[in-house]
Amino acid sequence: MKPGPIGVFDSGYGGLTVLKEFAKKLPQYDYYYLGDNARAPYGSRSFDTVYEYTFECVNRLFSEGCHLVILACNTASAKALRTIQQKDLNRFDSQKRVLGVIRPTTEIVQQYTQTNHVGIFATSGTVSSQSYPIEINKFYPEIMVHQEACPMWVPLVENNEIANPGADYFVQKHVDALLSKSSKIDTIILGCTHYPILLNQLRKFVPEHIKIVSQGEIVANSLQDYLLRHTELESLCSKNAQITFNTTDFPDNFDKGASIFWGTEVKSKHILL
Ligand code: DGL
């Protein structure tokens, strides 16, 4: 079988915060990024719609030669990953794998909390799926999970409005709402791949003693570990240190928006699903 790039999928731009950490930690691999910008945001869509869109994109990544696909989107990981892993994967060749971003974070959350009270900021879809409380309590039943949906944060980030006072209003509103759920919260997980972009704004309103945990580095460490344990799949990951950016929307728009997440200019290609 021919080696191929590692597929990295998100509804739009957020997965770039994860891909950036992959490129830092595991620069030797090729990556094929796919942002479904034409149909983003996913955060408020139904379970069935998120599953259908995600599966279509995973299918496309497999056709592009990827053997391993990372859903670098919490909403897709919450609403589509399990069905794809349990129902769809056996229709492809047995080497294909799809992984998400929720499990790696929930596995190690205990390292961060002393009070056993953890807060989650995420999209409405991720919050209503209950994936974070379910996954965290599987490993650590003693941890209390407090969730807050922040439906305005993705549009603020995607429209490059985060440095404006209007953004502060929406950031503070959800920080206050989460912290009012328990005075014992000492750790907050950013359960949406867009949210690390808001870190400076969050730090203005989240008290200093509370840790804010972004997923990128955690997911990159987990991928490294996974590849070390699955040598047969690792050998199917091509290694020319190349990254290609692909979007279901207009590439010019993607390239402008992506620079907020990537830090430097990117040149994307349009793909039709
Ligand atoms: N980046 C996605 C996540 O991690 C959310 C963006 C969206 O709503 O499409 O959940």
Q: For the segment 18-57, what is each residue's pLDDT rounded down to a tens digit? A: 999 999 999 999 999 999 999 999 999 999 999 999 999 9
> How many angstroms is it from 254 CA to the middle of ligand 1?
16
Counting ligand 1 atoms within 8 A of each CB, the residue from 16, 39, 42, 219 with the most, and so the one to mutate, is 42
> How many angstroms is it from 231 CA to the middle of ligand 1?
31
> How many angstroms is it from 41 CA to the middle of ligand 1?
6
pLDDT digits (tens, 9 = 90+) for 79-104: 999 999 999 999 888 889 999 999 99
Q: What is the pLDDT of residue 188?
A: 98
> How many angstroms is it from 2 CA to the middle of ligand 1?
32
User: Which residue numbers are catalytic?
Assistant: 73, 192
Q: What is the pLDDT of residue 260?
A: 86
**CATH classification number, 6-100+217-270, choose in 3.40.50.1860, 3.40.50.1820, 3.20.20.60, 3.40.1000.10:** 3.40.50.1860
Counting ligand 1 atoms within 8 A of each CB, the residue from 74, 148, 158 with the most, and so the one to mutate, is 74
Q: Looking at ligand 1, which atom is closest to the CA of residue 10?
A: 1
The span from the CA of 181 to the CA of 163, in Å, is 27
Which residues are registered as beta bridge partners of 145? 118
pLDDT digits (tens, 9 = 90+) for 101-133: 999 999 999 999 999 999 999 999 999 999 999
**CATH classification number, 103-214, choose in 3.40.50.300, 3.40.50.1860, 3.30.200.20, 3.40.630.30:** 3.40.50.1860
154, two tokens: 């993705």
pLDDT digits (tens, 9 = 90+) for 187-237: 999 999 999 999 999 999 999 999 999 999 999 999 999 999 999 999 999
Q: Is the pTM of this model over 0.85?
A: yes
What value, to the nearest 5°, has the Cα angle with vertex 229 and ends 227 and 234? 35
- CA-proximal residue: ligand 1, atom 2 (nearest): 73
The span from the CA of 15 to the CA of 258, in Å, is 10
Pocket of ligand 1 (CB under 6 A): 10-12, 14, 40-43, 73-75, 123, 126, 154, 192-194
Alpha-helix runs per DSSP H in the chain: 16-25, 47-63, 74-79, 81-83, 102-108, 124-129, 131-139, 153-158, 165-179, 199-205, 216-229, 231-234, 251-262
Domains 6-100+217-270 and 103-214 share a fold: yes
Distances (CA, A) of 17 to 24, 72, 216: 11, 9, 6
For the chain, what are the domain ranges? 6-100+217-270, 103-214
